[in-house]
Structure 1
Amino acid sequence: MNAKSLLAIAAIAAAFSATAQAGEADYASNLPQFQGQRDRAEVRADGVWAAQNRNPEPAGSRVAAPLKSNVTAQAVRADAAQAVRLGQIAHGEAAI
């Protein structure tokens, strides 16, 4: 009885597996067909033009021009040192 059941299950499994197998997939039929309107020389000329006229500055990266100042760096350092001495500016780890 057990052998008959196993044989029946094997026969059913073989029948279903034979119908479940698929053939080779043909992906070319699923791709859209495209026909360009320009020839190779036009596309190449556009690429050359784009490379020659490329803007190296990324969009939105404009930086403001440096401000002109009448104060020298030495005067700024002296003012900062005096402010530290007077306790107007924290220094070292006390600034944390």
Structure 2
Amino acid sequence: MNTARILSIAAVAAFASIGAQAGELNGNLYGTDFEAHAQSVRNRADVRAEGQQALPNFAKGPVADYAARATSTLERTAVRSNAVIAARAHQIATGERS
């Protein structure tokens, strides 16, 4: 029984090492060198300038703009009491569902 177990473990280890070497010989183990073959057609200054131009839009997105423009007709205490009622009625998603 021990001999069979040792031989099976050795066989699994041998197959694993052969598979690892095959991936290294190709130089492409699951597409990890994809970025190495990518060629840029734009220079660094253009990319940086575009990033600086887009930066203000990331600080506030459409959700933040909408929230800033929204006006509420309820007071804070009313919103809190509605939230407590909704939480007790299990109408607010929690955990994995949220």
Q: Which has the higher contact order (CA 8 A, sep 6+)?
A: 1
Give the alignment's TM-score, normalised by structure 2.
0.37
TM-score relative to the length of structure 1: 0.37
Return the structure number with greater helix share: 2
Give the number of the structure whose alpha-carbon radius of gyration is greater. Answer: 1
